Chains A and B, each alone.
Chain A
Amino acid sequence: MRPGAANIVQFENVGLRYGVGTETLSDISFSLAAGAFYFLTGPSGAGKSSLLRLIYLAQRPSRGLIRMFGEDVVTLPRARIPGFRRRIGTVFQDFRLIPHLSAYENIALPLRVNGVAEADIDTPVREMLEWVGLSGRAHAKPATLSGGEQQRVAIARAVIGRPEILVADEPTGNVDPEMAERLLYLFEALNKLGTTILVATHDLHLVPRVDDAQIIRLDKGRLSDPTGALRYPPKRG
């Protein structure tokens, strides 16, 4: 954790087990500082998606403590979970756009869920479409968009509600290198506005492209860098 920055996410000895099998995640302890940019790396099957599921509250851990925004979310009452989820932006590997809604309506969805008046929705949605370079595709359905365009709609949907943390699961996995660069640029721009970013990727080539990014490395369900040296590398010149 960077000195002086508050923790937005804190894991302490977290374990996750699906059913009665072996633990998918074991003894995970780390923290994310507010406003920082993190890469969560590791080979396929290392448990990156499971860890992200814990952060975007799709799963409760089998053991350990998770604190988010200063509160214990392991024992968080179910009725309070929607309020927490609205503070977390999520970009899924498979986009999860609603196929029968246009790009515009997919992006507007978090605002509507949040109770924003219809009159106050159009401007931010159009700004977001412009930000991700899809102004001309506002009324296109996801099936008619390319993979990169769908990913940008998913990012716009994840950030339009100004979340405090953005969690992205392999956001560059289905796009070409040029589009991957553009997506990282969007994440950096968002990070500069103060949003904490956590990007899960198995592509280590992405890491050096973001200045001041920190790394959390998972291997076989465990942090491979328990001392924190990899997680908090020295700032690159």
Chain B
Amino acid sequence: MALFGRGSGHWLTSAAGRRLLPEGWLSGPMPWVIAIMMFLMVLAAAAGLALGFAARGLDDHMSGQITIQIVDANKARRDDAAARIAAAVGKLPGVVSIRRIGDAEITELLQPWLGAGLADNDLPVPAMIDVAFAPAADRGIEKAGAVVHAISSRARIDAHAQWLAPLAGLIASLRWLAGVLVLLMAAAAAFTVVLAARAALNTHQATIDVMHHLGSSDAQIASLFQRRIATDALFGSLVGLLLASLVIYAVADRIAEVGSDLLGSVELPPVAWAILGLLPIAGTLLAMVAARLTIIVALRRRL
């Protein structure tokens, strides 16, 4: 069954075919209902895509990072252990960079909690070493624990992925939720098309009867309605996309003003915009298929 009603039904897409169903363009509520559905669908899809790209960025950035802390009140022993650990870990496979965080930087990090003059009051602070591994260098990370503990029992390792796990879980849940919302919106839009197609069938019952008596096939009649519904659906979808794009730009602007690194990682790269741009086309195709199936099934109940 040709989706676009070709073959003997080519005239259906011509002006003569359009005159068979005299309703004006955008005459019913369907285009506007689809515009609202598409607006919500694009927002949900944008949220899902942004979270997906943010999660990927977090994963790439954090999952291969560990921080080694050497907690020893004896500064000389602590520095010695830090130097030996840095040297040993640096030889592990997959290490991309290794950096001991300087005392001044640690003092600055702790200043909000412990106040200024940390260096003067001789309060012992741990030595810290940031190690970055190449992606998928899991074995290197595993070996790092053994190497570090062999050098100093006072050293411990914080894997960044461990404390990011709850955030990653939340992002994954939100992505699923966004995906489910997109599917629900698509289903709601399809049901709207089904109702509109049935209403159109009832409105044009007399014309359909005449067409049948003249030898029109169900596919020819379905093509008449399908083209009309596709036009309305495309219009509604484009309006929905346009409005949703304006909202997304506005929200992105607000996020940029907040200046948070975490929030800033939630952004839509060009590929995400391309995917969003395909949604109206997908929505129109969905509307055409829903309209065609509805009409074909309804016509099959008649002789």
A interface with B by C-beta (< 8 Å): 56-60, 78-79, 81-86, 90, 96-98, 100-101, 105, 108-110, 112-115, 118, 157, 161
Contacts and interface: CB of A to CB of B under 8 A. Distances in A.
B173 interface: no
A82 B216 contact: yes
A153 to B, nearest CB: 12
**Interface residues of B, dominant DSSP:** helix
A96 B213 contact: yes
B14 A118 contact: yes
A13 B181 CA distance: 60
A85 B217 CA distance: 10
A81 B303 contact: yes
Contacts of A108: 16
Interface in B209-267: 209-217, 220
Nearest to B299: A78
A98 B213 contact: no
Given A82-B215, A113-B220, 20 more contacts: A57-B303, A58-B213, A60-B303, A81-B303, A82-B217, A85-B213, A96-B206, A98-B20, A98-B206, A98-B210, A108-B16, A109-B210, A110-B215, A113-B211, A113-B215, A114-B215, A115-B7, A115-B9, A118-B11, A161-B215
Nearest to B213: A90
Interface of B: 7-11, 14, 16-17, 19-20, 22, 206-207, 209-217, 220, 300, 303
Contacts of A83: 215
8 contacts: A56-B213, A60-B303, A84-B215, A85-B215, A90-B213, A100-B19, A101-B19, A112-B11
A82 B221 CA distance: 12
A105 B215 CA distance: 16
A32 B215 CA distance: 22
Of B22, B214, B220, the most chain A CB neighbours within 10 A belong to B214
B22 A78 contact: no
Nearest to B9: A115
Contacts of B303: 57-60, 78, 81
Nearest to B300: A78
A86 B209 CA distance: 14
B231 to A, nearest CB: 18
Contacts of A79: 217
A97 B214 CA distance: 11
A193 B9 CA distance: 29
A105 B213 contact: no
Nearest to A163: B215
Contacts of A112: 11, 16-17
Contacts of B10: 115
Contacts of B220: 113
Contacts of A157: 214
A96 B19 contact: no
A81 B217 CA distance: 8
Contacts of A97: 210
A79 B209 CA distance: 16
Contacts of B300: 78
A166 to B, nearest CB: 13
A115 B220 CA distance: 10
A114 B22 contact: no
B210 A96 contact: yes
B214 A85 contact: yes
Contacts of A81: 303
Contacts of A110: 214-215
B214 A86 contact: yes
A120 to B, nearest CB: 12
Contacts of B210: 96-98, 109
A189 to B, nearest CB: 22
Nearest to A108: B16
B212 A85 contact: yes
